[in-house]
A and B are shown apart, each in its own frame.
Chain A
Amino acid sequence: MSADTSTAVTTPTAVAPGFNRALVGYAVIAAAALALALTVPSGISKIQLTTGPEAIKIPLLELPAALAVGVPVIAAAVVAIAALVQQLRTKASAPRWMAIVAGSLLLLGFLAHLVAGKDGVLPLTSLLTSTLFLATPLIFGALGGVVCERVGIVNIAIEGQLLAGAFAGAVVASIASQNPYVGLIAAPVAGVGVGALLAWFSIRYRVDQVITGVVLNVLVLGLTTFFFKGLLSDLEGLNDRARLPVLPIPLLSELPVIGPVLFRQNLLVYLLYAIVIALQIYLFRSRWGLRVRAVGEHPKAADTVGIDVNRTRWRNTLLGSAIAGLGGAFFTIGQGLAFGIDITAGSGFIALAALILGRWTPTGAVAAALFFGFANALSQSLRSYGVSLDSNIPLMIPYIVTLFAVAGFGGRVRPPAAEGVPYVK
């Protein structure tokens, strides 16, 4: 999904500072791959690829650990070293796909290494499924953030938008006699409500956008908890469970591994695919996208050529908030859960991290969110593989990675130039 990022993001100025860091990155991948290869335990790695419903079944793989770890890991090392050599020889950055391939292979080897010689089975398909499951609201939130921040409005209120969407989705679906699709309409509307406040205070009254965002998060948490305790738990029929039905796509859903992971999902996830693709194309290939980016990078110039800066900011803030609000619905009707206090539990902040790590691009945000989802999925299932590692440690990883990323390790992270600055004509 992130394969086309390089063409979209890489500008001549971005290549030069990232060059050396890419070298370091490839060297680290190669070193890690060799380290894994040298420490392969004896025994077998059991890998499960099919989980049940799909038509094409693959039996449980029981491979000798040396093979299961060695093959992907050595392949990863080869790709990484090839990229390293190519980059040094041609003095230009190696194509992005090499990093993705090397990273994925390394990950596969790492997983095989984890279960090598242990009783536990590595359920690769269900691990990937729960990765997407945990990443979905993060992707929605991060995309909502991209739409806002590209236009120069800092969206710290993603958490509040997700929470408002989760609340409205659950409550409206319950009122509409548990019709989850009605909730799917209410969730973005709630997100827009939060976004309108953000825009009103930060554009109309030029209140600092970070302050507005932080306070809006508190406000939404307070309001939803207040109504949850005061109304939803007292009155019947306001907070029942409704679940978006799973709509398997014919044929595609029968494929092994990718079928259940990608094509056995509910409408919300399919909407997500559409939004990601549409945003990536429109943001970088359309007149709308050019205007949006102009407002975010140099509002004065945009104004000079006749773009209404504040109107564009208003529109985008509302659009972004709607996307984040829609993502909030995933916590309730997307999972078939009733609303609960602080049900989003800080996901908005991880989405913010994904947005930054993805360098303010839709596909980058998706990749980062998937990475966070994977770290989370792995931490939840570590115990079942027979690995004794405190589950809190993998949960810290996304934040620490983002910390390093923001500090500039592994490439320059540059926000839109006019971010957070109110525009005064």
Chain B
Amino acid sequence: MTQDEGSRRPDAVEDAPTADRPTGEVGAPDQQPPSTSNALREALQSMMSSSVLVTVGAVVLALVIGSVLILVGDTAVQSTLGYLFQRPGDFFREAGRAISDSYVALFQGAIYDSEATTAERRVRPLTETLTIAVPLIFAGLGIGLTFRVGLFNIGGQSQLVLGAILGAWVGFALDMPPVVHIVVVLFAAALGGAIAGAIPGVLKARFGAHEVITTIMLNNTSRYFLLWVLGTGAFLSATPQVSPGLAETARLPLLLGGSFRLHLGFVLVLLTAFAVWWLMERSVLGFQMRAVGVNPEAARTAGMSVRKITVLAMALAGTLCGLAGAMQVAGTEGRLTGSVYGSIGFDAITVALLGRSRPLGTVLAGILFGALAAGGRIMSSRAGTEAELVTVLQAVIVLLIAAPPLVRSVFRLPAPGGPRTRAKEVAA
């Protein structure tokens, strides 16, 4: 019973993004070849109703909601509210200033800082964006992979933490030659993540324990486990609750020299994204995983071992999340701390959702969230708008993207593909 439940629910996860996909992607299998007279109209309609447009609409709506928050949080705007009816112009001027200041600062902090004095400082925001995106993409790839197998892996945090612990320990405790060391660190982190991922996988496959619950429990366990580990003798350093720094040989080399934080992880994550794409779309295992995600019963009937694939998918996802942990300890942080996981585990869920569980989408979504995070810091220092606005934006974007009919009704977009798919979407 529990197993049925578990497999049915994540199907819906898949359904939501795929419901409006066929018309968005050219050459989707169930599309009739358009007759020449209608080709243009249909192409136009498919573009209007495509998921891309829904994504853009969701971002626009989120920015509108963000604007309201900026106004609420801005003291200058509040002061004009006192005499709104005497001089409404003041309010609108202040409101416009507050909103544009915030969003300009967000852009400056995320992409290109036009206010900076040197060329180096001008492009630094973009490199920061990419640096922040690296662990997000790694973990997002892992979580997206489980989505496609019909599993809802919320355990990115625990997998990241265990990966970070093992990776960091190998990084500071062992002495190895330069290239070998970082490779071993990455393997150790991947192994740690895989273990943390395999636990809920086995519990699900063997006992039917729902992975949402088990991964949430593992996340919370991992938090205290990390604090406990940091207090043990092997991880003691001069600073309490912080591990010794990783050896120079265990650090990921910087890509653009010492003044930028961007490290080799960015290249690794792009290669990994390609590897995940190949695995899911071109390999037998990927086919089996997708088959289990679409319909576990049918996959079982076709002779696939649903249990084995469940465990394997969770372990693979854990591997990717563990690598995200490696990016933290061997890339940006250089040591293990009690808060090394940040909010990456949960952000990665939204990254995977926004990227519709596809590797390319996840890379782009990760970069978008990296940009929002990097921009948020500058926004709070320059425009005085709190960086948490970005968290709200992320949440709103993902909520809206999960509900395409809502976005379409706001922007009066046509439903995808006319009555036939519309009926399907309602039934989904």
Contact = CB atoms under 8 A, between A and B. Distances in A.
A54 interface: no
B13 A403 contact: no
A231 B72 contact: yes
Contact of B224 (A208, A222, A396, A408): A396
Contacts of B386: 225-226, 229-230
A415 B427 CA distance: 24
Interface in A69-123: none
A360 interface: no
Contact of B220 (A215, A221, A399, A407): A399
Contacts of A406: 203, 209-210, 213-214, 217
Interface string A214-246: 111111011101110111001000000000000
A57 interface: no
Interface in B333-390: 346, 349-350, 353, 385-386, 388-390
Interface residues of B, number: 59
Contact of B73 (A217, A230, A417): A230
A124 interface: no
Contacts of A212: 399, 402
Given A215-B350, A222-B395, A407 B403 contact: no
Interface string A274-295: 0000000000000000000000
A350 interface: yes
B207 interface: yes
Interface stretch (B2-10, B111-119, B163-171): B2-10
Given A205-B406, A211-B402, A226-B386, A346 B395 contact: no
B2 A223 contact: no
Interface string A396-425: 100110110011100001110101111010
A151 to B, nearest CB: 15
A215 B395 contact: yes
A349 B216 contact: yes
Contacts of B228: 390, 392-393, 396
Residues of B contacting A: mostly = helix
Interface string A192-218: 000001000100011111111011111
Interface residues of A, number: 54
A321 to B, nearest CB: 16
B9 A210 contact: yes
Interface in B209-235: 209-210, 212-214, 216-221, 223-225, 227-228, 231
A421 B10 CA distance: 10
A239 to B, nearest CB: 15
Contacts of A208: 9-10, 12-13, 16, 402
B20 to A, nearest CB: 13
Contact of A211 (B13, B216, B223, B391): B13
A392 B395 contact: no
A185 B23 CA distance: 48
A168 interface: no
A219 B217 contact: no
Contacts of A216: 395, 399
B392 interface: yes
B58 interface: no
Interface in B164-212: 203, 206-210, 212
B394 interface: yes
B304 interface: no
B1 A414 contact: yes
A213 B191 CA distance: 30
Contact of A226 (B69, B210, B231): B69
Contacts of B276: none
Contacts of B398: 211, 215
B402 A226 contact: no
B91 interface: no
Contacts of A417: 1, 5
B13 to A, nearest CB: 5
Nearest to A219: B395
A38 B220 CA distance: 34
Nearest to B346: A218
Nearest to B4: A417
Contacts of A156: 212
A272 interface: no
B217 A402 contact: yes
Given A222-B388, A226-B386, A403 B231 contact: no
21 contacts: A201-B399, A205-B406, A208-B13, A210-B13, A211-B398, A217-B346, A219-B399, A222-B388, A222-B391, A222-B394, A231-B72, A346-B223, A390-B231, A392-B225, A392-B227, A393-B228, A395-B224, A406-B209, A406-B210, A406-B213, A408-B208
Interface of A: 156, 197, 201, 205-212, 214-219, 221-223, 225-227, 229-231, 234, 346, 349-350, 352-353, 356, 390, 392-393, 395-396, 399-400, 402-403, 406-408, 413-415, 417, 419-422, 424
A-B CB proximity, top 4 nearest: A222-B391, A230-B73, A219-B395, A205-B403
